[in-house]
Amino acid sequence: MTDKAAIEKEAARIAEQGECAPRLARDPVNQPMINNWLEAIGDEHPGYTGTAPPAMVQVWTMAGLHGQRTLDDPLGAMMSILDEAGYTSVVATNSDQTYHRYLKVGEHLSVTTSLEDVTGPKRTGLGEGWFVTTRSTWWVGDEAVAEMRFRVLKFKPAHAPRPETASAQSSTPAVQPAPPEVQAIRPSVNRDTEYFWEGTRQGELRIQRCGGCGLLRHPPGPMCPECGATKPKYLVSEGYGVVYSYVVHHHPQVPGKQTPFVIALIELDEGVRMLGELDGVPSVGQRVEVVFTKVDDDLTMPSWRPRADR
Amino acid sequence: MNAAIVGIGATDFSKDSGRSELQLAAEAVRAALDDAGLEPSDVDGLVSFTMDTNAEIAVARELGIPELTFFSRVHYGGGAACATVQQAAMAVETGAAKVVVCYRAFNERSGHRFGQVQTAAAANIDNSWSYPMGLGTPAAMVAMFARRYMHEYGATSEDFGRIAVIDRKHAATNPHAWFHDRPITLDDHQASRWIAEPLRLLDCCQESDGGVALVVTSAERARDLPNKPAHVKAATQGSGVDQFTMTSYYRDDLTRLPEMGVVARGLWEKSGIGPSDVDVAVLYDHFTPFVLVQLEELGFCGRGEAKDFIKSGALELDGTLPLNPHGGQLGEAYLHGMNGIAEGVRQVRGTAVNQVADVEHVLVTAGTGVPTSGLVLGQL
C-alpha cells in the first residue's frame, strides 16, 4: 500500500469512530481566568463580570501545562500516524468557531472531538503536508454551547539545500528558517556563555579557547582549569564531528519537539564534545555537520545532520 | 565511625498519598523515633536533601522537637541519600548533636514528577547545554551514557533488563513494595515501550509518594536502645573530575562513574573491608544501566564485565552479592535512595523480609550520574 493510501485508510478508520468521549474541563468557568484572559488579550470591555467572552471557549478545556491527550483523541491519533509517515511538523491554519450562547461563571464545560477530514499530500511553502480537520463541540450537560472546525497542516519540513548541491556554497553553514512550532526551552545566557550564542546568531559554532594556554573547552567557564587564566577567547569550529553517543527520545513530550527525536553527543573534530539535536538516523561514529536554526532575533540553535563522507 | 542507625521509619509507599509532604515527613520521623525507642524531645539534629520541600524547622514543629543544635541539607538530588547519614554521624561524633534524624518525603507521583521535563531547570547555566537541545529528562540523560556503554562493551538491552527482573523478583515477596506479588520476566522487559532509547519503560524506576526517616546516634547510646543498631562503618561523598549533574559527558570515558569510584575508595579505606566482604549490596537503581556501571566502579567485577557477572546469578538472594533484597527503587519504591538505607539496617538487624543469612556488612549507594555518596553498615 502506498503511504497515501495507508494514511487515507487510517484517517477513515479514525473518522468512523466519531466523537471521542467527553473530556471535562479542569475548572468551571471562573472569573479569575476570565480576568487573566481579558488582560492578556487587551480586551477592556466592562461587560465580562459573571459572563465569559465567547472567544475564550477553548481555554476552559485546555489540558494544562503537563496535560496529555486522551487515548481516544482523534487529532492525537491522526498526528501520530502522520508523524510516523514523516510528516513531523505542524502549523495551525484555520480555526472557525460558532458560539450558541454566552457562558456563565460556574458552568462546567466538557468537549468532544471528531475527525472530519484529512486531505493530501499537498505541496505548500513549508513543505509537503496533509490538512487535518477536526470538529469540536463544547457542552454544558447535554446542551451544545459552542463548536469549532479546526484545521492544521502536518508537513515534512523543506530542508535547505545540502552543501554539495548548493549553487553558492559559503564557508559557514546556512541558517535555516525555524519550523513554525518552536516553543523550545531557551538557554540561560551569562557573561561566560554569551560568546557562544552570539556565535550561533552569526552562523558560527564557537569553542572556548583559553587566552593563556590555548586549552579548548566546552561547556565553557570563566577560569581555565589548566592554567588559571581568566581571559577566555574562542575559535570558530569547522562545524564537523562524529556522533559519540545518542538518545532517541520517546517519552515524555518535550516542549517544542515532536517525539521521537534524536539528541546526540557530538565529538567535534577540534576535540570537544557538544550536545545537539540530530536530524537523521543515528549511529555511533556517524560523521555529522552543524546546522543553525534561527528561533528568533535573540536565539539561533545549533543542531546536527549526517554528512556524506568526502 | 562512632555512630549507628538505631531507628528506621517509613510511611506507606503509594502513587497518591492524599496528604501533604510535611505530613509524610512527620509520619516517617515519628515512626523512626518509635522504632528507636526515643522521644521527639531526644532529637537535637535534623538532616535532609536540598530538594526536600520540608524545612527542618517545620518538621521539628510537627513532631514537637523543642530545640535543634544541628540542621543541614545535602545537595544533588538522590546523590544526597547516604550523605545525610554521613552528616548525622559526623554531627554525633563531633558533639554537634546527640540524636540526629535524617528524612526524605515527597509526593513524587501525585505532585511534582521528576520524570517530566523541568522547564524551569534550564535556568541553571549548566543545563543550558542540554535542556534547550531537547535533553531534559533523567531517563534521557542516563540513556546517553548507556548507549556509549553498549557501544564499548557490547552490552544489550537484555543485560540492563536483568537488573529490573532481579529487583522485581525481590519486590514480589516484599509486602511493603509497590510491586509486591508482581514479578516480571525478561520478555516483559523487552516488550516494554521505549522511553529514551536505549532505555525502556522497565529500565526506569517507578514514581512514588512516601517518606522515610533514619535515626542516628552514638555507638554507646545505640547499645542501650531496644533494636539492634546498624553501625556506620564508613560514610562518604564523592564528586569526580569535570563533574556535572546528570550530564558529565565531557570526560574522556563515558562508561564509568568516577564519582562513585571516589565513594568506593573512601568506603573501602575507612571501613577496612573490600568488595569480597560485602554480604548485601543495596545499589541505587533509578535506571538499570548505572547498576552495571556501579558493579564495575565498586570493584565487584572488571570494566565491561558486569553483564557476565549478572548472568552468573551473583545478584540473586543466594548469590555471592545479593542485590536490593527489598526490591530496590524499581520494585519497592522510589524514595530517593532512603528506603535502601532502611533495608540495609534491616539486613544488619536480621529482620528483612528477604533476609540474607549471616550479614556482617551491607553496602548502600546513593544517586548515580550526580555527585553521590555511600555507606558501609555492619554489626556494632
User: What CATH number is associated with residue A80?
Assistant: 3.10.129.10
- Rounded average pLDDT over A157-177: 44
For residue A76, the model assigns a pLDDT of 83
For residue A176, the model assigns a pLDDT of 52
Please determine, for residue A180, whether its predicted confidence score (pLDDT) is greater than 50: no
Same domain, A109 and A210: no
Does residue B134 lie in a domain region? Answer: no
Same domain, A122 and A209: no
Same domain, A7 and A85: yes
Distance CA A219, CA A274 (A): 8
B284 is catalytic: yes
Same domain, A18 and A119: yes
- Rounded average pLDDT over A155-169: 49
For residue A169, the model assigns a pLDDT of 38
Please determine, for residue A13, whether its predicted confidence score (pLDDT) is greater than 90: no
Measure CB to CB from residue A247 to each of B113, B117, B143 and give the nearest one. Answer: B143
A47 touches chain B (CB under 8 A): no
Active-site pick, B103, B131, B149, B284: B284
- Give the residue with greater pLDDT, B289 vs A164: B289
Does residue B169 lie in a domain region? Answer: no
Lowest mean pLDDT among A147-161, B81-95, B152-166: A147-161
- Kindly list the residues from chain A whose CB atom is less than 8 angstroms away from the CB atom of residue B143: 247
B147 touches chain A (CB under 8 A): yes
Number of domains within chain A: 2
CA quadruple B115, A250, B136, B328: dihedral positive or negative?
positive
Does residue B176 lie in a domain region? Answer: no
Terminal alpha carbon distance of chain A: 36
Same domain, A137 and A41: yes
Mean pLDDT of all residues belonging to chain A: 87
The interface predicted TM-score (ipTM) is 0.95
From A155, A184, A217, the end of a domain falls on: A155
Please determine, for residue A173, whether its predicted confidence score (pLDDT) is greater than 50: no
Does residue B138 lie in a domain region? Answer: no
B220-255: pLDDT as tens digits? 999 999 999 999 999 999 999 999 999 999 999 999
Same domain, A9 and A151: yes
From A121, A155, A189, the end of a domain falls on: A155
Number of domains within chain B: 1
- Rounded average pLDDT over B189-210: 98
How many degrees, rounded to 5, is the angle at CA B139 between CA B135 and CA B144? 60
Burial of A267 (0-12, 13-18, 19+ CB in 10 A): middle
For residue A122, the model assigns a pLDDT of 84
B124 touches chain A (CB under 8 A): yes
Same domain, A91 and A196: no
Does residue B314 lie in a domain region? Answer: yes
Q: Which CATH number covers residue B326? A: 3.40.47.10
A275 touches chain B (CB under 8 A): yes
Number of neighbours of residue A58 by Cβ within 10 angstroms: 15
- Rounded average pLDDT over A126-140: 89
B115 touches chain A (CB under 8 A): yes
Distance CA B129, CA A243 (A): 16
From A155, A186, A217, the end of a domain falls on: A155
Q: Which of helix, strand or coil describes residue B136? A: coil
Please determine, for residue A242, whether its predicted confidence score (pLDDT) is greater than 70: yes
- Rounded average pLDDT over B109-135: 91
Does residue B238 lie in a domain region? Answer: yes
DSSP assignments along B22-86, one per residue: HHHHHHHHHHHHHHHT--GGG--EEEEETT-SS-HHHHHHHHT----SEEEEE-SGGGGHHHHHH
Same domain, A142 and A186: no
Q: What's the Rg (C-alpha) of chain A?
A: 24
Share of chain A above pLDDT 90, in %: 52
Does residue A162 lie in a domain region? Answer: no
Does residue A161 lie in a domain region? Answer: no
- Rounded average pLDDT over A253-268: 95
- Rounded average pLDDT over A177-198: 82
A66–B196: do the CB atoms touch at under 8 Å? no
Please determine, for residue A168, whether its predicted confidence score (pLDDT) is greater than 50: no
Does residue B320 lie in a domain region? Answer: yes
Please determine, for residue A163, whether its predicted confidence score (pLDDT) is greater than 60: no
* Confidence label for A1 from pLDDT (cuts 50, 70 and 90): low
Does residue B36 lie in a domain region? Answer: yes
A301–B132: do the CB atoms touch at under 8 Å? yes
Same domain, A149 and A9: yes
* Confidence label for A161 from pLDDT (cuts 50, 70 and 90): very low
Lowest mean pLDDT among A29-43, B69-83, B183-197: A29-43
Same domain, A151 and A194: no
- Rounded average pLDDT over B132-137: 96
- Rounded average pLDDT over B156-172: 98
Q: What residues make up the domain containing A288?
A: 175-306
Does residue A163 lie in a domain region? Answer: no
Evaluate the omega torsion of the peptide bond into residue A225 and state whether it is cis, within 30 degrees of 0.
no
- Give the residue with greater pLDDT, A12 vs B9: B9
Q: What residues make up the domain containing B346?
A: 4-111+210-379
Distance CA B228, CA A105 (A): 62
Lowest mean pLDDT among A165-169, A283-287, B205-209: A165-169
Same domain, A30 and A132: yes
- Rounded average pLDDT over A110-135: 87
Please determine, for residue A181, whether its predicted confidence score (pLDDT) is greater than 70: no
Measure CB to CB from residue B134 to each of A189, A251, A277 and give the nearest one. Answer: A277
Same domain, A140 and A10: yes
- Rounded average pLDDT over B145-162: 98
- Kindly list the residues from chain B whose CB atom is less than 8 angstroms away from the CB atom of residue A190: 125
